[in-house]
Amino acid sequence: MKKCLLFVFALVISSANAVGAFAQGTVTGKIVDATTKEPLPGATVILKGTERAVPASLDGSFQIKIDDPNAAILVNFVGYLQKEVALGNVNGNKNLGAILMESNVTSINEVLITANSYAIDRETPVAMSTISSEIISEKASNQEFPELLKGTPGVYATKQGGGFGDSRINLRGFQSENVAVMINGVPVNDMENGRVYWSNWAGLTDVTKSMQVQRGLGASKVAVPSIGGTINIITKTTDATKGGSLFYGIGNNGYNKLGFSFATGLSENGWAFAASGSKTEGNGWAEGLQFEGYNYFFNISKLINDKHTISLTGFGAPQYHGQRQSRKYIQEYRNAPQGLRWNPDWGVKDGEVVNVEDNFYHKPQISLNHYWTIDASSFLSTAVYVSKGTGGGGGITTDRSLNVDTIRTGDMYSPYDLDQVVDINGNSVDGHARAYQYASRNDHTWVGALSTYQKSLNANFNILGGADLRYYKGMHFREVYDLLGADYVLDNSNVNNPNNKARVGDKISYNNDGVVLWEGGFLQGEYTDGTLSAFVSLAASNTSYKRIDYFQYTEGNQETDFQNFFGYQVKGGANYNLTENHNVFANLGYFEKAPFFDAVFLNNENIINKDAVNEKILSYELGYGFRSPTLSGNINLYRTAWNDRSFTRAITGQSGELFFANLLGVDALHQGVELDFTYQPTSKLNIRGMASVGDWTWRNNIDEVTVFNEDRTQSETFGPMYMKGLKVGDAAQTTAALGATYKVLDDLKVGVDYNYYTDFFAQFDPTTLRDPGIEVWEVPSYSLLDLNAVFKFKVAGLKTSLYANVNNVLDVEYISDAQNGDTGLDEDKNGDALGSTVFFGTGRTWTTGLKINF
């Protein structure tokens, strides 16, 4: 009997101990994106059947206690499919490793982007920063798309004159023409000059799923060489979840935005459809900057079977906006009754505002993608795309008998009096225009194809190869927009039609086409083995330029032969994860790229520049990263030597006229150090910061510079130009940022961002650098403070978010863009504030918006 009681007692104790052990059991793991392997901080881990839940920390890791050895957990994260994980006989502690979360989209463009352009944390050896759609939604407000990147190391972004979509971005001191911008894997840099016109993509904030900035060589495997870096923008594709949203927002200076999105979800027969659209309008922060813009997006996909998927994606952003094109002296802003809001580039006609300097454009882009899973180890993705842009920018011109500054309603700070011009033109004896409005057009047709093949040779080694083919034709001409009461304007620029009496819609001044052909390919080998990942990549491309001029040459003599430039790039790198917390990486690359179109054809004529050669770039980078549940940080060192650079620089004259200068054979050195971190001491508080210190310098003088007028005729040739040792301008070389978000309540989050800019040098007019020892003006340092908040609640059972933003909270007065004045002939040879022309940055702005999901 005693033995029986002892047995029962032992059994009870054993069971109690077992229950106690299970009650103290702990499950750990890490929540990551299934494709990019990036951690998903804030993902929720729930013990199934209970209310017990924990959030994932900064590196995606979590820890949850369990009391049932056969329990399961549910993992949730916004934008991803819920995942259930069975724990299976937990006894004590159990590490589930990486839990891969699948995006709740049908991967229409994901594979192409991820495989070919997206960098993976602690694997791809490049410096990068990723911005999610959640951050974009919370901070977009009425900022320009590039401004969302201002807290990224090496980035300098401004609104320039302040017109809708007129923003620009510099990365590590390189302007946008030397930064590869890709949307859904398709390059969008202009094929002739490399620039990115953000007004063409003004609606991207509505449809962007994530945006990644890769500084330096980048991870793009198509034949797109990037000097400063690569910006990869991934749009939302077809949601597998049925639903949609409505958005309405208001802001300063008449800002008004209405938008919607809708998705059918994935049907049983494999079809899915998604669409979104918006309208944005307002008056702009400065006077004369009225704008109206639209955005549309659609995606139709079909899952044919387990091997084939096709999708059709289209988006565009037609817009019209007034511009402030003319930089002015600081003292002129001080004297203007409007202060910093003064804009000399607008007028009045019949009591209505006329945007004399304006921009109108529509550049729809449509792509057809096919994804083929050939077998378990190989995959082929192909995209065919087409884009047809139409539009341009306006201006006003007068003949020699009429000074443009005399046709204003009052003094120089008043708008143009276009009614006065109508009267002047009406008194013309023969009906010709003494002043009229024109539009400089830049239409184009762009067709391309991208195809990438990926093969896994074994568990450690992959090879990738692909082709990048493009055809581009740009059509450049000026047309009469408004004769302002006259009958015609006399134009003698067309040798085939001299003394042309041009009327509205007729072409004047210049009319030429630029044709660009691009054939590129790449081959890459990738090796991964636990802690080590490495790659070697080879790419080559042939760029062919042809110029066709319909005005300066007679029929039969209007076309040039194609001018061919063969370029190539070799790059490689490796990342080594020292521990779960520490990693180091390095990359090295050399490439040669074709000069831009304007450097090949001198002075906008069919004159071949025999001295045009490939630009040559050597770049390398070292980096270190640290990851822990609460702290994530990176430090990078970079050095980029750029030889035989060629570019065309716009120069604004004293009276506002525009000139252009061809600079050939310029060498520059860009080097620096970058630091960024994110710290999350609690699930409620997130702190992030960065510091970037650059040293960007011109390395040689220029023997000769050719300057030509806006109507594309040669003006003058100067030389030599003394550039050696001058700092590269147009962007702050030292920047810093500090920001924080705090969850006041589960449904209320507030944020603050501080940005600091210094070592900012003005652009220079090369024609003023005719004496050695000339210096460029250093723009005063400045800092900005932004606030944002989001409150989530339900309306009639529908999830609703209320957004609020205030940018430049302290209404700081600062100079965001500057051009060095003609002070080179002064005794001290120093650039200064007195002689430089500038744009002041935007003052305090605000927006608020309501988004309802259904």
Residue-by-residue DSSP string for 570-587: EEEEEEEESSSSEEEEEE
Point out which residues pair with 736 in neighbouring strands. Answer: 691, 756
> Percentage of the chain surpassing pLDDT 90?
61
Mean pLDDT throughout 699-705?
Answer: 85
Indicate the pLDDT class of residue 8, thresholds 50, 70 and 90. Answer: very low
Report whether 307 contacts 373 (CB < 8 A): yes
Mean pLDDT throughout 609-622?
Answer: 91
Tell me the residue length of the chain.
854
- pLDDT for 853: 93
Indicate the pLDDT class of residue 585, thresholds 50, 70 and 90. Answer: very high
Q: Please determine whether the domains at 110-233 and 243-853 fall in the same fold group of CATH.
A: no
Report whether 663 contacts 649 (CB < 8 A): yes
Assigned CATH topology for domain 243-853: Maltoporin; Chain A (2.40.170)
- pLDDT for 76: 87
- pLDDT for 394: 94
Among residues 485, 383, 473, 506, the alpha carbon closest in space to that of 425 is found at 485
- pLDDT for 603: 76
Mean pLDDT throughout 62-67?
Answer: 88
C-alpha separations of 629 from 42, 60, 174, 623 in Å: 11, 7, 35, 20
CA angle 729, 204, 819 (to 5 degrees): 15
Model confidence over 211-228: pLDDT tens digits? 889 998 876 656 566 789
Model confidence over 481-537: pLDDT tens digits? 999 999 999 999 999 999 999 999 999 999 999 999 999 999 999 999 989 999 999
pTM check: above 0.85: yes
- pLDDT for 675: 98
Among residues 130, 120, 137, 123, the alpha carbon closest in space to that of 153 is found at 130
Mean pLDDT throughout 269-285?
Answer: 93
pLDDT of residue 112 exceeding 60, the answer is no
Amino acid at 519: E
Average pLDDT of the residues of the chain: 88
The C-alpha atoms of residue 220 and residue 181 are separated, in whole angstroms, by 10
pLDDT of residue 729 exceeding 80, the answer is yes
pLDDT of residue 235 exceeding 60, the answer is yes
Mean pLDDT throughout 611-615?
Answer: 88
CB hemisphere CA count around 87 (13 angstroms)? 29
Q: Which residue has the higher pLDDT, 114 or 529?
A: 529
Lowest-confidence range among 285-294, 299-308, 465-474? Answer: 299-308
Assigned CATH topology for domain 110-233: Ferric Hydroxamate Uptake Protein; Chain A, domain 1 (2.170.130)
The C-alpha atoms of residue 515 and residue 134 are separated, in whole angstroms, by 40
Q: Determine how many CB atoms are found less than 10 A away from the CB of residue 798.
A: 13
pLDDT of residue 656 exceeding 80, the answer is no
The C-alpha atoms of residue 809 and residue 806 are separated, in whole angstroms, by 6
The C-alpha atoms of residue 269 and residue 303 are separated, in whole angstroms, by 8
Report whether 263 contacts 239 (CB < 8 A): yes
Determine how β-strand 271-282 pairs with β-strand 815-819: unpaired
Task: Name residues whose C-beta falls within 8 Å of residue 788's C-beta, 6 or more positions apart in sequence.
Answer: 138, 139, 141, 750, 751, 752, 753, 803, 804, 805, 806
Indicate the pLDDT class of residue 770, thresholds 50, 70 and 90. Answer: confident
Indicate the pLDDT class of residue 71, thresholds 50, 70 and 90. Answer: confident
Residue 418 host element (H or E):
helix 418-426
Exposed/middle/buried for residue 617 (C-beta within 10 Å: 0-12, 13-18, 19+): buried
- pLDDT for 711: 59
Q: Which residue has the higher pLDDT, 224 or 41?
A: 41
CB hemisphere CA count around 455 (13 angstroms)? 8
C-alpha separations of 790 from 76, 210, 232 in Å: 20, 19, 26
DSSP string, 66-130: ES-TT-EEEEE-TTB--EEEE--S--SEEEEEEEEEPBSB--TTHHHHHHHT---TTTS-SEEEE
Mean pLDDT throughout 581-591?
Answer: 95
C-alpha separations of 683 from 65, 580, 686, 741, 742 in Å: 17, 21, 8, 11, 9
pLDDT of residue 649 exceeding 80, the answer is no
- pLDDT for 449: 95
Question: What 3-state DSSP class applies to 773?
Answer: coil
Model confidence over 87-106: pLDDT tens digits? 877 777 888 888 988 766 44
pLDDT of residue 12 exceeding 50, the answer is no
- pLDDT for 556: 94
The C-alpha atoms of residue 231 and residue 495 are separated, in whole angstroms, by 44
- pLDDT for 456: 93
Mean pLDDT throughout 249-275?
Answer: 92
Amino acid at 849: G
Sign for the pseudo-dihedral over CA of 405, 410, 416, 422: negative
Radius of gyration of the chain (CA): 29
- pLDDT for 655: 52
Indicate the pLDDT class of residue 651, thresholds 50, 70 and 90. Answer: low
Lowest-confidence range among 71-75, 108-112, 190-194, 342-346? Answer: 108-112
The C-alpha atoms of residue 756 and residue 210 are separated, in whole angstroms, by 25
Lowest-confidence range among 651-660, 662-671, 745-754? Answer: 651-660
Indicate the pLDDT class of residue 611, thresholds 50, 70 and 90. Answer: confident
Among residues 720, 692, 690, the alpha carbon closest in space to that of 705 is found at 720
- pLDDT for 9: 41
Determine how β-strand 416-417 pairs with β-strand 347-349: parallel
The C-alpha atoms of residue 613 and residue 646 are separated, in whole angstroms, by 9
Model confidence over 783-817: pLDDT tens digits? 999 999 999 999 999 999 999 999 999 999 999 99
C-alpha separations of 174 from 226, 444, 643 in Å: 10, 25, 14
Mean pLDDT throughout 427-441?
Answer: 92
Lowest-confidence range among 163-177, 513-527, 761-775? Answer: 761-775
Quote the tokens at residue 503.
Answer: 């009327």
> Percentage of the chain surpassing pLDDT 70?
89
Exposed/middle/buried for residue 106 (C-beta within 10 Å: 0-12, 13-18, 19+): buried
Among residues 387, 539, 595, the alpha carbon closest in space to that of 471 is found at 387
pLDDT of residue 116 exceeding 80, the answer is no
Indicate the pLDDT class of residue 648, thresholds 50, 70 and 90. Answer: low
pLDDT of residue 134 exceeding 90, the answer is no
Lowest-confidence range among 133-147, 163-177, 211-225? Answer: 211-225
Task: Name residues whose C-beta falls within 8 Å of residue 746's C-beta, 6 or more positions apart in sequence.
Answer: none
- pLDDT for 20: 41
- pLDDT for 827: 45
CA angle 636, 637, 642 (to 5 degrees): 125
Among residues 315, 324, 261, 260, the alpha carbon closest in space to that of 291 is found at 324
Lowest-confidence range among 110-114, 237-241, 718-722? Answer: 110-114
pLDDT of residue 313 exceeding 50, the answer is yes
SS (H, E, C) 341-361: HCCCCCEEECCEEECCCEEEE
Report whether 363 contacts 389 (CB < 8 A): yes
CATH 2.40.110.10 for domain 2-101: no
Q: What is the maximal distance between C-alpha atoms in the chain?
A: 131
Q: Which of 67-81, 402-416, 751-765 has the highest mean pLDDT?
A: 751-765
- pLDDT for 2: 45
Q: Which residue has the higher pLDDT, 340 or 307?
A: 340
- pLDDT for 559: 97
Mean pLDDT throughout 674-696?
Answer: 96
The C-alpha atoms of residue 404 and residue 417 are separated, in whole angstroms, by 10
pLDDT of residue 712 exceeding 60, the answer is no
The C-alpha atoms of residue 355 and residue 162 are separated, in whole angstroms, by 14
Map tokens 């027969």 to a residue: 269
Model confidence over 382-421: pLDDT tens digits? 999 999 999 999 999 988 778 877 899 999 999 999 999 9
- pLDDT for 240: 56
SS (H, E, C) 419-478: HHHHHHHHCCCCCECCEEEEEEEEEEEEEEEEEEEEEECCCCEEEEEEEEEEEEEEEEEE
Task: Name residues whose C-beta falls within 8 Å of residue 316's C-beta, 6 or more positions apart in sequence.
Answer: 203, 295, 296, 362, 363, 364, 365
Q: What residue spans define the domains of the chain?
A: 2-101, 110-233, 243-853
The C-alpha atoms of residue 38 and residue 786 are separated, in whole angstroms, by 28
